[in-house]
Every structure is written in C-alpha cells, then in structure tokens.
Amino acid sequence: MTGLSKKTLASFNLKNESGFLSDFFPTVKNEDWKYTNLKKHIPESIIAQPFENIIDEALTKKLEKKINNIIDNKNVIFFIDGVFQKKYSNIPDGVKINKLFVEDCGLRTIYMNQAGVEFSCTDEKSYGGFLNFTNNTKLIELNSYLSNYPYVIKFDDSCVKDSRIKVVHSFTNKEAFFNQNRVLFLVEKNASVLVHEEVLNFGKENSVFNMVSEIICLENSSLEYFSTQNDSSKSNLINSIFCTQQKNSTSNFNIFSNDGKLIRNNIQVDLLGENSSSNVRGTSLSRSSQHLDNFITISHMVENCKSNQLFKSVYDDNASGAFCGKIFVEKGAQQTEAYQQNNNLMISKNSSVNAKPQLEIFADDVVCSHGCTIGAIDDDILFYLQSRGIKKEEAIKVLIAAFLNDQISNIRNDEIKAEISNLFLKNQ
C-alpha cells in the first residue's frame, strides 16, 4: 500500500501485550487524531487477536443459524476471523478471490505499486501517495504486523452492473480482541461493480476492529461502495480505506454509521488519471456516549478531475464527533472541480462535534468550495409539529428523518436502500 515493509519482525512484548498495543495508538498531540483519544475508548485489557486464525468448527456450527439469517446466498463473500468461507459464500461471475502468501512477498505486507495500477511486492516500486497518512498513524503499521497475508478480490468487466456484492467480515472474539483485517480490491478496466461491506461481531463486547482496505480502480471502471457500520455490541471500529483511480474511472463511497462505541473512518482517494471522479458521502446517527470521527482526503493529482464530499451527522445524548475533510489539488491539476460540505444536527445540549474543513490548492484554474454547519433543531418548527398533535419525541424523529433522508433517498439499489432506511428512519 504505502511502502511499509517487514524487513525486521516486530519485537512483541507478549507479557505486556496490552501495553504493546497502546504504543501504536496515536495521541491527541497528533493533529490527525486531535479529537479522538483512543485510550479513552479502548480498554487497557485489550489483547491482540491470535496470530494464526484457526477456525473453530464447533463454534462456527453454533453460529450457522445467525449466519444464514444474515446472508441470502446471493452474491455474498463471507469471512470469519479473516478467513474466507466458501461454504457461506456465493461468488458471482466476474469475481475472483486469491490470497497472498509469505512465499509470494517475503516479509512484505503492503502491496499497492508505485503507479497505483496493480499490487506489487517490490519495495522500490511501492506506492507513496498515502505515506503522509501512514507516517502519522502507527495503526496501519500495527495492521501490517498482526494481520495475515491479505485476500485480493478482483472484479472484471463481466460483473453485473448495479447487482450488489456483499462482503461480510465476521469475528468470533472469544475474548475482547484487537482484530486486524486487510483486503485488497482491484476493479479492472471497464468493470462496473457495487460492493457492500459490513463488519459483524459474534463475540465479546469492547472488541476492536482495525480494518484496512486498498482499492485500485483502473481505466474506465466504476465502483459503487457502501459500508454499513451498525455494531450493537458496542465495540470499536477503525476503518481505513485507500483508493487510487486511473483515467475515466468513477468511485462513489457511501458510509452509514449508526451504532458502535467508537467509529473512526479514514478515507483517502488519489485521482491519478484525467477525467476521474470520486464522491465520498457519510451519514451517521450517534447516541449515548458514542464517538464518531470522519477523516477524509481527496487528492487531485492531475487535471480535469472532479470530487465531492458530503457528510451529514446527527448527535444525541452525550455523543461526540469530529469531521476533518481535505481537498488537495496538486500543482498543474488544472480544471479541477471539488466540493465539500459537512452538516451537523445537535439534538442534545450535551452532545458535541468538532469540524475542520480544509482546502490545499496549488493550481489556479480550479473551482473548489467547502462549508460546514452545526446547529440544533429549530424550536419554531418543533413547536409547529407539536401544535398539530405530534408528541415531542415523535416530532424530533420526523425532523431527524428529514435531515438524513436526502442521503438515503439517493441510493439506487433497492436492497441497500431498504436496509439503510430501516436502520436510520424506522429504528431511532
């Protein structure tokens, strides 16, 4: 991904494993993590997921009923503890899954090559576009040390457009583990694919999921990506997505966050080819003492590219959040169009959010803008609804639904729209 390598193995202090893990946690002194204190949310007793993921057949058997209730045996790629499960999967035409092994890449665990067009094992050819982020975030390094060699999922041009491919990452968590997961996606030339990723915790509460995804979109490809974050076990999710795009490619990232003790989304997209475009959207509803942090960067590296960021969040009770969105325009990336908007609705006086929209532009022929709003429910509108016989609690739900609905109504896939609508609009 970014040129990190394991030329020397990490020195693990297994007698003090929780202390070893915390050494990789960024502190609030790190500008990228200024508003998210991991040590506040992640228990000191957390231990690493076992290095060798051996599937417990007896436990899996007990989970079969739950698994069968989740999957519909149609276009499903199912993982348990990082291991692909052919039994519970139904791989559609145009999709291939391979696992990279030690003998393929020696000690390396980071794979995107310098041009961002394929996955490579050669250090000197590794992609450097994400180095600024990974140098400031040791959690990516931790992932490379503790995760098994990743799976590569390839999508070719025979994939059925607009047909959902669901990728489920499930974890058994016999203890409250610090889990690592890495998957590589390659969207080949002229391919058009819709991917819906989900993380499921079948085990202990207070677990941690350190997820890393590398995505390459080749020429004339199209990626529609959805992530549903709804962990009722009150665990912690750190989700890092890195994407490179070649010319005439399109990506649409849609992140829906509804539950979880802590959610941190790191999304970085590099537009490397002309006439490429990316839209990154986020929709969230945080309650109780949940914390949500969205850290987004879209880099325009060449001319004639477009991007858009739109994040809408609702905070209730003692929930807190942060949004840091950046538009980066490289020197010479003329004719860039880039927009960013972050809207936050505060339901409770005890909720809080920090917003930091940013523009970093080194070209002069561009159209770029950013904006941010933070506000409470309008008392006049609330009074009007109550005067029509609607109870206050129900009126607030109506206003929340209206605030979030435009993000949900724009979902074109009926299956996903129904699931998201049920999650956000019916179960508040």
Q: Among 350, 346, 339, 343, which residue's Cα sits nearest to residue 289?
A: 350
* Residue 303 tokens, joined: 């001319």
Q: What is the pLDDT of residue 104?
A: 55
Determine, yes or no, domain membership for 287.
Answer: no
- The answer to whether residues 191 and 154 touch, using CB atoms and an 8 Å cutoff, is no
- pLDDT for 133-158, tens place per residue? 887 888 988 887 787 678 999 999 99
Torsion angles phi and psi, residue 121, rounded to 5:
-110, 10
Determine, yes or no, domain membership for 369.
Answer: no
* Residue 183 tokens, joined: 């998957």
Structural domain of 388: 379-428
Determine, yes or no, domain membership for 45.
Answer: yes
> What is the identity of the amino acid at 207?
S
- pLDDT for 300-327, tens place per residue? 999 999 999 999 999 999 999 999 999 9
- pLDDT for 358-411, tens place per residue? 999 999 999 999 999 999 999 999 999 999 999 999 999 999 999 999 899 999
Do 414 and 269 have their domain in common? no
Given a cut of 60, is residue 114 above it in pLDDT? yes
**Confidence band for 53, pLDDT divided at 50, 70 and 90:** low
Q: How far apart are CA 320 and CA 247, in angstroms?
A: 38
Do 84 and 217 have their domain in common? yes
Determine, yes or no, domain membership for 259.
Answer: yes
With helix as H, strand as E and coil as C, how does 44-57 read? CCCEECCCCCCCCH
Q: Please tell me the pTM assigned to this model.
A: 0.92
Mean pLDDT along residues 193-198: 96
Given a cut of 50, is residue 107 above it in pLDDT? no
From 258, 273, 288, the end of a domain falls on 273
Determine, yes or no, domain membership for 123.
Answer: yes
**Confidence band for 12, pLDDT divided at 50, 70 and 90:** very low
Q: What is the pLDDT of residue 101?
A: 66
* Residue 317 tokens, joined: 């009770």
Mean pLDDT along residues 85-114: 77
**How large is the C-alpha radius of gyration of the chain?**
21
Q: What is the pLDDT of residue 6?
A: 40
What does the buried/exposed string (b/e) look like for 322-334 if buried means 16 or more CB atoms within 10 Å of the residue's CB?
bbbbbbbbbeebe
| Number of domains composing the chain | 2
Average pLDDT value for the chain: 88
Do 207 and 58 have their domain in common? yes
Q: Among 225, 212, 199, which residue's Cα sits nearest to residue 81?
A: 199
To the nearest 10 degrees (0 to 180), the angle between helices 414-421 and 392-409 is: 160
Given a cut of 60, is residue 17 above it in pLDDT? no
Helices (H), 8-86: 17-22, 38-41, 57-70
